[in-house]
Amino acid sequence: MHTANVTRGKTVLIVEDDVNTADLVALYLRREGFQALTANDGERGLALAARYRPDLVILDLMLPKLDGWEICRQLRQMSDVPVIMLTARDEEIDRVAGLTLGADDYVVKPFSPRELVARVIAVLRRARPYRDSPGKVIHQGDILLDLEKRSLHVRDRAVDLTHHEYVLLEALMKVPGKVFTRDELLEHIYPRGEAIVIDRVVDVHIGKLRKKIESNPSDPKFILTVRGIGYRFVERKPV
């Protein structure tokens, strides 16, 4: 299996209280094509895992609020997401305990970020898929679209969408960078000519979407107009 096939569209959650370590691991993962989320305490890590259902969790054992052992226990109660544990201790009893709880791999600090990414790829290759379409989450910048729940979060805030707004946003976010004509977007809203409408209806829906997802709708950063053609969604790294 080619590495790109393993990393494409996959989200890794890093639960690590050392911000520099978490950011460095996230950087290396993104270079390989992963989307990366970070949490610096156990409670937030568990909340992000429940909300965004990552494809793999990198989990430090020594964490504030909830330690890695408890997080792993709770993760195993709600999913079979692969887990790689991080620890500063290299004792056999810790490795055995972690694997007994359901961890898929165990990495001792200090570690090479490249080696950790290689382990992530190896675990994903052999693990059962944790999240397949249509249940995956599309993560662009600070926008997360859950295709199974048909829900949208912008800057960690739930945002309500109408059916047509959701369909348009899903089409745009699934293929970031692609320029969609208004007719193509109309086909998503009204497949097989279910209604007779003019293409400017798309403009109205796009305007409403911008008000919901853009910090400044008059100067959009995500949904851009391609003059004379239609619209495209700008690909951005998750934050």
Q: What is the average pLDDT across 104-113?
A: 86
What pLDDT is recorded for position 75? 87
CA 48, chain centre distance (Å): 10
Residues 213/154, Cβ–Cβ less than 8 Å:
yes
Residues 90/116, Cβ–Cβ less than 8 Å:
no
Instruction: Return the top range by mean pLDDT from 42-46, 83-87, 129-133.
Output: 42-46
Closest-CA residue to 87 (of 39, 17, 180, 36): 17
Whether the pLDDT of residue 114 is over 90: the answer is: yes
Q: How confident is the model at residue 28 (pLDDT cuts 50, 70, 90)?
A: very high
**Residue whose structure tokens are 């391609």:** 226
Write the pLDDT tens digit of every residue in 130-151: 344 444 788 899 999 988 888 8
What pLDDT is recorded for position 134? 43
Write the pLDDT tens digit of every residue in 200-227: 788 888 999 999 999 999 999 999 999 9
φ/ψ of residue 192, rounded to 5: 55, 35
Query: Do β-strands 223-226 and 180-181 pair in parallel, antiparallel, or remain unpaired?
Result: unpaired
φ/ψ of residue 184, rounded to 5: -65, -40
Q: What is the average pLDDT across 42-55?
A: 90
Mean per-residue pLDDT over the chain, rounded: 84
| Rounded-to-integer distance, Cα 72 and Cα 76, Å | 6
How much is the pTM? Answer: 0.54
Lowest mean pLDDT among 3-12, 28-37, 100-109, 175-184: 3-12
